[in-house]
Amino acid sequence: MLYKDLLIKFSSEKDIIDYYIQIRYKGVPKCPHCGSTNKLTQRRDKPRKFQCNFCNNSFSIFKNTIFENSPIPLIDWFYAINLFLNSIKGISSYHLKKEIGVSQPTAWLMLKKIRTAMGNSVNKDIFQGIVELDETFVGGKPRRKFNPSPMFRTNYDQYTYKTPVFGAYERNTGRIRAKVLYFDDLGRRLSSEQLELAFNELCKDKVIAITDDYRGYSFLKKDAYKDYTHHIVNHNNKEYSKGNGIHINTIESLWKLLKNGFYRTYHKISLKYLQSYVDDFCFRVSNSKNPDIFDTLISQTILIKEYG
């Protein structure tokens, strides 16, 4: 959404409240205490709240959302969300601080909550059909000094200080999901066992899995996966497509976007919050062709779906 369109659509807080009522309640607010939809009155002193004359309770339409109890004006929230969506590589808290005139910690908290909404996908069904699978490593350069001779270098050394991320792309829906793989009980990262567990969390039986030649996908050769179809693109031989749609280019585009954001916008991401940043870019790629991406994200700001 263009900035001028945002100002036209949300010229006042009342416009935002009416819009949110439409998004959350389909235009008809519902009391979370008694379930009534008839005897509700919007309070004049606090327009964000409704009074239920049936059970004599009041409630906020922003309860259990990222906007709950926030002193930030709603127009600033909506401007921040629109700005964030229009920035393909994301924006830093220092950038947002200058745009809406808040402190840097406040801007950081706002972006954190927006990323929480991005990861709060309505459709969390497991993938089926044709699924592209890939992994990447995120982080800075290793601090260890290596022997310059190639014979003493290993892939493990190369990624000692980096964090692996596993992702899957479902072609028939365009959805992308990715998961940060932390150390397992044996102190390993990106092991075949970890990949198998992450794969089973994301994919349904009998999927057509397309991967690169990484040996961690050897679990797909087990008898338990005999009903699966597994295609391999051999990147070590500079093979990036076998034709007939056998490639993993789409999921790799997610890594490109993620790393551009990492190195050019954020520079450093704490491991504690890395998953939320991954969810951010998954949302962007999954909704890259969605003309109503703003409405989609606003609908995901409701953190507890059963409320209302």
Order the strands of the 208-212 sheet from edge to edge: 175-180, 163-170, 130-138, 208-212, 229-233
In the numeric block, the tokens 């979370």 are attached to 32
Q: Name the nearest CA neighbour of 250 among 136, 170, 178.
A: 170
Kindly calculate the radius of gyration of the chain based on its CA atoms and give it in whole angstroms. 23
Query: DSSP for 280-292?
Result: HHHHHHHTTT-TT
pLDDT tens digits in sequence order for the chain, 308 residues long: 888 899 899 999 999 999 999 999 999 999 988 888 888 999 998 999 999 998 999 999 999 999 999 999 999 999 999 999 999 999 999 999 999 999 999 999 999 999 999 999 877 788 999 999 999 988 766 545 444 444 444 444 444 568 899 999 999 999 999 999 987 766 677 889 999 999 999 988 889 999 999 999 999 999 999 999 999 999 888 888 988 999 999 999 999 999 999 888 988 888 899 999 999 999 999 999 999 999 999 999 998 754 43
pTM: 0.87
Which residues fall within 8 angstroms of residue 196, CB to CB, at 6 or more apart? 219
In this prediction, residue 247 carries a pLDDT of 95
* Chain segment 236-263, per-residue pLDDT in tens: 888 889 889 999 999 999 999 999 998 8
Q: Delimit the domains of the chain by residue range.
A: 130-276
pLDDT of residue 235: 87
| AA letter at 13 | E
How far is CA 28 from each of CA 43, 71, 282, 298, 300, rounded to the nearest angstrom?
15, 25, 32, 17, 18
User: What pLDDT is attached to residue 153?
Assistant: 43
The CA distance from 21 to 158, in Å, is 51
The SS3 assignment for 22 reads helix
Distance from the first to the final alpha carbon of the chain: 28
Our CA angle for 42, 45, 47, nearest 5°, is 40
For 88, other C-beta atoms within 10 Å of its C-beta total 12
Task: Specify the CATH architecture of the domain 130-276.
Answer: 2-Layer Sandwich (3.30)
> How distant, in Å, are the alpha carbons of 97, 112, 250, 271 from that of 104?
5, 12, 35, 20
| Residue 300: φ, ψ to 5° | -85, 0
Task: Indicate the length of the chain as a whole number.
Answer: 308
